[in-house]
Amino acid sequence: MHPAIEVRDLVKKYRIRVRGLLRRRYEEIEALRGLSFKVDYGEVYGLLGPNGAGKTTAVKIISTLLLPDSGEAFVCGYSSIREPYKVRECLGVMLSVERGFFWKLTGIENLRYFGTLYGIPRGELEERIRMAAELTGLYEVGADQRRFEDMSLGMKARLALARALLRDPRVLVLDEPTLGLDPPSARRIRSLVKELAGKGRGILLTTHNMFEAEMVCDRIGIIVKGRIVAEGTPGELKARVKGKSSVVVLLRGPRERVEVIADAARSELGVSASLTDEASTGHHRLRLVCDPESTGRVSAWIVEKAFTLGVRVVEWRVEEPTLEDVFVEVAGRA
């Protein structure tokens, strides 16, 4: 039997116009550089990667919305490139939540419009809408009767998922389905995703949230710069950092200087390092993966480096390895 989704050697370059000093120049961005993976029926496969890794580009190619430069994408055995109509019949897609709905129509009216567009027979339509709305909890939050423009982000997400489920598809592709949602709404969507996979659907989900990937996904492919750099079940991936420790340091200071510290840690200490910004506090979080016996040396080195560069160490701790460390290990060197 065909896998639910199969992607082979996808390559996609975007040409963007950049303003030069005298005239316009063109620059090429390699969004996908030989992306390959498979998703089976009954499993949730998570494409986990940082901003700009190529997740949305991959999702768009699989969903027939974008053509690759080379490579193949199949859904239910049909080619997304040569048989887009076949693919659309067995695929439900949830892309960016805000797009493609009618702002003046209610949730149910939107679903009715898209159901008709998808060619669902009139006799079945209302029942399909009811099922999709019930599964996603549209009625509970009142999103069925509310106009799209008046909905909260959580309601819009439920509606977008309901639309993806209208045709009762065997395969689902969800691009960051919980982005920006509050914990209860995110939880609701995650449990529905698991439930659908339990019923035999093949589901591809993209996320940059490691906690989410670990909770929902049966298998995870870590995507960095348009390529899978590690793949496996959450357990298999975590085994890669077994016996390692991570030093987590919260720093306060100009980002450029914090980047200097991260780069120096990679080159001078030979450890993997990843840097994230905490929007709420303005702190920078540096995570370094090293052998347990080196944590003391690594910590002392960081404190001294930070002091030299005039960056403040706000907090410091050593943690057990998590999925995030696998990410740091494979992506932090890239």
Ligand X SMILES: Nc1ncnc2c1ncn2[C@@H]1O[C@H](COP(=O)(O)OP(=O)(O)OP(=O)(O)O)[C@@H](O)[C@H]1O
Query: Considering beta carbons, is residue 67 or 239 the nearer one to ligand X?
Result: 67
- Binding-site ranges for Mg ion (CB under 5 A): 55-56
Least separation in angstroms between CB 222 and ligand X: 12
Q: Which of 120, 131, 189 is nearest to 157 (CA)?
A: 189
Strands 245-252 and 284-290: antiparallel
**Among ligand X, Mg ion, none, what does residue 51 contact (CB within 5–8 Å per kind)?**
ligand X
The 10 Å Cβ neighbour count of residue 317 is: 11
Query: Considering beta carbons, is residue 70 or 96 the nearer one to Mg ion?
Result: 96
Query: Considering beta carbons, is residue 14 or 211 the nearer one to ligand X?
Result: 14
Least separation in angstroms between CB 16 and ligand X: 5
Name the token pair of 214: 């670990």
- Binding-site ranges for ligand X (CB under 6 A): 14, 16, 29, 31, 49, 51-57, 208
CA separation for the pair 194, 218 (Å, rounded):
9
In the chain, what is the straight-line distance between the N-terminal and C-terminal CA atoms, in Å? 36
Least separation in angstroms between CB 277 and Mg ion: 18
Least separation in angstroms between CB 106 and ligand X: 29
Least separation in angstroms between CB 27 and ligand X: 9
CA angle 168, 173, 175 (to 5 degrees): 135
**Among ligand X, Mg ion, none, what does residue 54 contact (CB within 5–8 Å per kind)?**
ligand X
**Among ligand X, Mg ion, none, what does residue 171 contact (CB within 5–8 Å per kind)?**
none
DSSP, collapsed to helix, strand or coil, labels residue 168 as coil
Query: Considering beta carbons, is residue 180 or 292 the nearer one to ligand X?
Result: 180
Query: Considering beta carbons, is residue 13 or 170 the nearer one to ligand X?
Result: 13
Give every CB contact of residue 172 below 8 A, 6+ residues apart in sequence.
Answer: 91, 92, 93, 94, 164, 165, 193, 196, 201, 202, 203, 204
**Among ligand X, Mg ion, none, what does residue 178 contact (CB within 5–8 Å per kind)?**
none
CA separation for the pair 42, 24 (Å, rounded):
49
Which residue in the shown chain puts its C-beta closest to Mg ion?
A: 56
Query: Considering beta carbons, is residue 53 or 288 the nearer one to ligand X?
Result: 53
**Among Mg ion, ligand X, none, what does residue 221 contact (CB within 5–8 Å per kind)?**
none
Name the token pair of 111: 């679903």
Least separation in angstroms between CB 103 and Mg ion: 23
| b/e per residue 150-186 (b: at least 16 CB within 10 A) | ebeebbbbbbbbbbbbbbebbbbbbbbbbbebeeebb
Query: Considering beta carbons, is residue 53 or 159 the nearer one to ligand X?
Result: 53
Q: Which of 317, 302, 316, 306 is nearest to 254 (CA)?
A: 306
For residue 156, the cross-strand partners are: none
**Among Mg ion, ligand X, none, what does residue 228 contact (CB within 5–8 Å per kind)?**
none
Least separation in angstroms between CB 69 and Mg ion: 19
Residue with tokens 């909890």: 137
**Among ligand X, Mg ion, none, what does residue 253 contact (CB within 5–8 Å per kind)?**
none
